[in-house]
């Protein structure tokens, strides 16, 4: 069985790789157009630019996209590339005023995108998806607002305050992803919102050390006090029992959002939303590894290998395909 799965994964990824690179040689000699961006990336189409941006990140999101139909895959990769562009601004350690100016440019670029005159490769790649998949400008702007919160806040007083940040930077992306994946029941949007929060809470737990090095603590301050942990301890690189209990509490909250999301997902939309479920499999496995490592996230970053992420995504896609066929067979008698 394992061998058969391996051959299936190899065949699927081989086909996917050919699909992603079919036009590479053809575009290698693409002429430079003086529009401010094509001359910087003369050998890449907008879709290829987004593909490179997503692939280089190594994100769990990327692996959840790979086995989608081409039009949806291109759309979700372009959406992810947009998120990476604006997130990289606030994580680049540039002066806050410069970062705000760059985010302001992206707000204007969203306006140009919906006016039909995008300039950046990412927004050019999004030009068709925003129309095809009903992606509202307000969601993109709210993502940018969420990124700007990183310039305004180094800490969050309570989970209620942190929830707004999660809503903007993650749940908005979840809602747009649900539109791209497709749905028939609007309850799926509630699933997507909760799943986005679950992903962000997992990221926060995984990245405690990295964020602390940037001077940011996303763990709610009232919960630090509850577990008798001070900010300086989070800024350090050793996990004690009090910190471990605090992080375990955060992991339980993330798990509760995953459970709520899965409970809200209508059976009729599971197959359409399989990309999100593949991402969830990867994120849940990361959360499992963090717990198995006894929450030592201040010492090192826990992550899955690319091969493991690819396997989890492919395995989830295959499971959802089998369940979908079973439901269809039952429905037709």
Residue 285 CB contacts under 8 Å (≥ 6 apart), including other chains: 304, 308, 312
In total, the chain counts a number of residues equal to: 333
* Helix, coil or strand: residue 207: coil
Q: What is the pLDDT of residue 40?
A: 52
Q: Find the range with the poorest average confidence among 38-42, 146-150, 204-208.
A: 38-42
CATH label, 153-315, candidates 2.40.10.10, 2.60.40.10, 1.20.1330.10, 1.10.600.10: 1.10.600.10
Q: Where in the chain is the domain with CATH 1.10.600.10?
A: 46-152, 153-315
- C-alpha 316/C-alpha 236 separation (Å) is 37
- Regarding predicted confidence, which is higher, 173 or 14? 173
User: What does 43-106 look like in DSSP terms, one character per residue?
Assistant: T--HHHHHHHHHHHHT-HHHHHHTTS-HHHHHHHHHHHHHHHHHHHHHTS---HHHHHHHHHHH
The arithmetic mean of pLDDT across residues 292-303, rounded, is: 95
| 46-152 belongs to CATH 3.40.50.10140 | no
Q: Within the chain, how many helices (H) and strands (E) appear?
A: 17, 0
Q: What is the pLDDT of residue 7?
A: 43
pLDDT reading at 198 higher than 90: yes
- C-alpha 211/C-alpha 303 separation (Å) is 15
Looking at every residue in the chain, the average pLDDT score rounds to 88
Q: What is the pLDDT of residue 19?
A: 47
- C-alpha 156/C-alpha 231 separation (Å) is 12
Query: pLDDT tens digit string along 253-269?
Result: 999 999 999 999 999 99
Query: pLDDT tens digit string along 87-131?
Result: 999 988 889 999 999 999 999 999 999 999 999 999 999 999 999
What share of the chain has pLDDT > 90, as a percent?
A: 77
**How would residue 4 be classed by pLDDT, with cut points 50, 70 and 90?**
very low
CA 128 to chain centre: 21
Q: What is the pLDDT of residue 34?
A: 34
Q: What is the pLDDT of residue 267?
A: 95
The sign of the torsion formed by the CA atoms of 64, 70, 76, 79 equals positive
**How would residue 61 be classed by pLDDT, with cut points 50, 70 and 90?**
confident
HSE on the CB side for 44, CA within 13 Å?
18
The arithmetic mean of pLDDT across residues 165-190, rounded, is: 97
Q: What is the pLDDT of residue 300?
A: 93
pLDDT reading at 77 higher than 90: yes
pLDDT reading at 312 higher than 50: yes
Cα dist from 279 to 99, 131, 275, 309, whole Å: 29, 25, 6, 9
State which H helix or E strand residue 228 sits in: none
pLDDT reading at 29 higher than 80: no
The sign of the torsion formed by the CA atoms of 310, 316, 320, 322 equals positive
């Amino acid at each position: 069985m394992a061998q058969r799965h391996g051959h299936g994964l190899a065949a699927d990824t081989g086909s996917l790789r050919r699909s992603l690179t079919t036009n590479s040689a053809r575009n290698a000699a693409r002429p430079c157009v003086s529009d401010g961006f094509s001359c910087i990336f003369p050998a890449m189409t907008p879709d290829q630019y987004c593909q490179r941006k997503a692939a280089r990140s190594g994100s769990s999101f990327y692996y959840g996209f790979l086995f989608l139909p081409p039009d949806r895959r291109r759309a979700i990769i372009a959406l992810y590339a947009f998120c990476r562009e604006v997130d990289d601004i606030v994580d680049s350690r540039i002066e806050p005023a410069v970062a705000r100016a760059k985010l302001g440019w992206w707000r204007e670029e969203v306006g140009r995108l919906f006016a039909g005159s995008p300039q950046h490769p990412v927004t050019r790649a999004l030009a068709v998806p925003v129309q095809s998949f009903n992606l509202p400008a307000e969601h993109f702007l709210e993502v940018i607002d969420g990124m700007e919160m990183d310039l305004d806040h180094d800490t969050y007083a309570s989970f209620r305050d942190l929830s707004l940040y999660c809503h903007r930077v993650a749940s908005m992306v979840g809602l747009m992803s649900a539109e791209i994946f497709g749905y028939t029941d609007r309850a799926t949007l509630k699933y997507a919102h909760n799943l986005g929060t679950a992903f962000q809470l997992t990221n926060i737990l995984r990245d405690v050390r990295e964020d602390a090095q940037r001077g940011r603590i996303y763990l709610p301050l009232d919960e630090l006090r509850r577990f008798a942990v001070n900010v300086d301890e989070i800024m350090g690189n050793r996990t004690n029992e009090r910190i471990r209990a605090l992080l375990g509490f955060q992991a339980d909250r993330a798990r509760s959002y995953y459970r709520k999301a899965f409970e809200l997902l209508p059976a009729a939309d599971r197959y359409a939303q399989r990309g999100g479920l593949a991402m969830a499999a990867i994120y849940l496995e990361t959360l499992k590894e963090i717990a198995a490592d006894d929450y030592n996230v201040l010492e090192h970053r826990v992550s899955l290998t690319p091969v493991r992420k690819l396997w989890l995504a492919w395995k989830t896609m295959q499971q959802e395909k089998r369940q979908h066929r079973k439901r269809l067979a039952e429905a037709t008698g």
